[in-house]
Amino acid sequence: MSVLVVVECDNGEVKKSSLEVASYGSQVAQMLGTTATAVAVGEATEANLAHLGEQGISKVLYDAEPRLKDFVNGAYTKLIAAAAEKEQAQVIVLANSNIGASVGSRLSVRLKASLATNVVELPKTDGGKFTVKRGAYSGKAFADVVLSGDRKIIAVKKNSIEALHNAGQTAPVESFSAQLSDADFADAPKQVVMQDQAGGILLPEADKVVSGGRGMKGPENWNLIEDLAKALGAATACSKPVSDVDWRPHHEHVGQTGITVSPNLYIACGISGAIQHLAGVNSSKVIVVINKDPEAPFFKAADYGIVGDVFDVLPKLTQAVKELG
Amino acid sequence: MKFLVCISNVPDTTTKITFTPDNKEFNKAGVQFVINPWDEYALTRAIELKEQQGGGTVTVLNVGEADTEPNIRKALAIGADDAIRVNAFPKDAFFVAEQIANAAKDGGYDVILMGKESIDYNGFQVHGMVGEMLGIPTVAPAMKLDMNGTTATLEREIEGGKEIVEVQTPFVASCQQPMCEPRIPNMRGIMTARTKPLKVVEAVGEPARTEVAEYALPPKKQGVKLIPAENAGELIKLLRNEAKVI
């Protein structure tokens, strides 16, 4: 019996969300009196994987097959299932990412496991039941879900668990092969196209987000959003009306039918706060709203607010961040 | 080509969420239900592809009790040819996936489409489960879908970009923006939808693997702290020293 953690890597680095997942998995292992093994997917280096010891991981399995660099659903599912069998894993923990949810749902059928996605807290094991808290109704509510199967798969929402950092701890990295065949790569991507991200920060991974709405008046004014985001080390985002009129790309659309984010800081600029937008951001730790309309509904969900013109306020904020040094 | 489009019946996106007094169930009182917005992309794209090919069928499937039929009729009015309702409350993703896989096996569908997730459960699970149950590829979430004979080319969203994926039928894809512009029913569609076949079948398979013990609303915010616009820089100091987020 053990806990298996699925760690996603990109360009040799372990993703921030996977550090959170590793920390979640090692804490679950501690609760269950066992150890947590990681299986790494994507492009990884042994040195970076070894650092997963800092998150409490006991051992890392890594298949260096080059075709696993990019996500392939069939191959990733087979690899992780093989690792789960090798480790006799009762609990498998992944990120609630496009990769984690895609693989997790296939794995749940293959391994006859109960699956919970969008999980925001460590499990409770009172009274012999295994219960996790997950976001529901697009962030407007939470659900305590009992996982009834002998095996459980948990996909952890980004930014909901603090990553552990036990400096100096390292984990041995073991070579691992799932004996993948060409058939396992039938759904391999023909091409991978990366899009420009302001400041190089990916929105789903960001712990700070600066977002603009129709109050920005047009795409030509987005430099004000980007300047503040760059100064803060934040990702940029937008409301649905903005992406609908193509001021910004769809992958920046945050809300009920866009990306749901839960950063530590969400700054909404010229966004009135329709219920569908709030649903996508209201699990952010701190919400800041800047709007010239004091009646904008977003102020009711905000922690800090400025009633004012975004064109005056944003340069002042950017300047103030730069002065912090 | 035979398309199967799976739709969920969900609370309207503007709904204020409340629960029954024991917090065990969603409070439906006074709530309007709609076709899950993500599923509208799947439905419209299936209809567009059928029209491009000049033939084929689009079947909609819903796992739900009788009160979901108005939205199934709406899907028929938008352009689906026929419908299946699996007469059961959608207990969890696994249960729903089993119903879809069962219908797909019987129906010999080439393409199974659905939304990325439902806006109530937000599981993002059903597509993968169906693909695994049927032993066919899953592409999720897909932003673009084109067909050339039995070969499909899809754009799949990844963090920071997209992948171009080619798969052969049969396959499952979950859909999201900007796949197409969802259609609304016209008067002719509404009239013809009344006579299109809607088959009701009973559920099959195993019981659910998960159970909601309790729902809860997020804790209420303390209230906004307003900073004068002329002194906007003060906000940054508060975010560092008080909120400790920068």
The pLDDT-based confidence of A266 (bands split at 50, 70, 90) is very high
Mean pLDDT within B162-173: 95
- How distant is the Cα of A215 from the closest Cα of chain B, in angstroms? 16
pLDDT in tens, B59-81: 999 999 999 999 999 999 999 99
Domain count of the fold of chain A: 2
| Residue B201 Cα to chain centre, angstroms | 21
Three-state SS for A46?
A: helix
Predicted pLDDT of residue B158: 86
Confirm or reject contact between B94 and chain A (CB < 8 A). yes
Residues A142 and A287 in one domain: no
Domain span at residue A174? 3-185
Please name the fold of domain B2-218.
Rossmann fold (3.40.50)
Mean pLDDT within A204-218: 93
Q: Which of B208, B246, B200 is nearest to B103 (CA)?
A: B200
Instruction: Tell me how far apart the alpha carbons of residues B20 and A322 are, in angstroms, rounded to a whole number.
Output: 49
How many CB atoms are located within 10 Å of the residue B38 CB? 26
pLDDT in tens, A161-198: 999 999 999 999 999 999 999 999 988 999 988 876 55
Given A120, A154, A185, the domain boundary residue is A185
Interchain pair B229, A110: CB under 8 A: no
Q: Let me know if residue A198 belongs to a domain.
A: no
Please state, in angstroms and as integers, the Cα–Cα distance from residue A126 to each residue in A2, A123, A131, A132, B209, following that order: 19, 9, 8, 11, 18
Interchain pair B177, A191: CB under 8 A: no
Query: Exposure pattern of A177-211 as b/e (b: 16+ CB <10 Å)?
Result: ebebeeebbbbbbeeeeeeebbbebbbbbbbbbbb
- A285 → chain B, closest CA residue: B245
Q: Let me know if residue A244 belongs to a domain.
A: yes
Mean pLDDT within A91-117: 96
Residues A95 and A230 in one domain: no
Given A118, A152, A185, the domain boundary residue is A185
Residues of A in contact with B97 (CB under 8 A): 109
- B136 → chain A, closest CA residue: A74
| Residue A148 Cα to chain centre, angstroms | 25
pLDDT in tens, B20-73: 999 999 999 999 999 999 999 999 999 999 999 999 999 999 999 999 999 999
- Give this prediction's pTM: 0.94
Residues of B numbered 37-66 whose beta carbons fall under 8 angstroms of chain A's beta carbons: which are they? 37-38
Residues of B in contact with A323 (CB under 8 A): 233
- How distant is the Cα of A219 from the closest Cα of chain B, in angstroms? 19
In the predicted structure, residue A48 carries a pLDDT above the cut 90? yes
Q: Let me know if residue A191 belongs to a domain.
A: no
Which residue type does B128 have? G
Residues A157 and A16 in one domain: yes
Please state, in angstroms and as integers, the Cα–Cα distance from residue A182 to each residue in A67, A77, A192, following that order: 10, 14, 19
- How distant is the Cα of B176 from the closest Cα of chain A, in angstroms? 8
Closest Cβ–Cβ partner in B17, B158, B237 for A141: B17
Residues A63 and A172 in one domain: yes
CATH number for the domain spanning A77: value is: 3.40.50.620
CATH number for the domain spanning A237: value is: 3.40.50.1220
Structure tokens at A18: 């996977």
Sign of the C-alpha dihedral computed for residues A88, A91, A97 and A98 taken in this order: positive
Confirm or reject contact between B31 and chain A (CB < 8 A). no
pLDDT in tens, B135-166: 999 999 999 999 999 999 999 988 878 899 99
Please state, in angstroms and as integers, the Cα–Cα distance from residue B9 to each residue in A5, A131, A168, B66, B179, following that order: 34, 26, 51, 11, 21
Q: Let me know if residue A193 belongs to a domain.
A: no
Residues A143 and A226 in one domain: no
The pLDDT-based confidence of A199 (bands split at 50, 70, 90) is low
The residues spanned by each domain of chain B are 2-218
Q: Which of A249, A250, A240, A232 is nearest to A271 (CA)?
A: A240
Residues A231 and A302 in one domain: yes
Residues of B in contact with A193 (CB under 8 A): 161-164
Closest Cβ–Cβ partner in A105, A118, A188 for B127: A105
Residues of B in contact with A145 (CB under 8 A): 210-213
Interchain pair B164, A285: CB under 8 A: no
Tokens 């948990």, located at residue: A154
* A and B: number of Cβ contacts within 8 A: 264
Residues A264 and A234 in one domain: yes
Given A124, A151, A185, the domain boundary residue is A185
% helix, strand, coil for chain B, step of 5: 30, 30, 40
**Binding-site positions of A for FAD:** 214, 270-277, 291
Residues of B numbered 100-129 whose beta carbons fall under 8 angstroms of chain A's beta carbons: which are they? 119-129
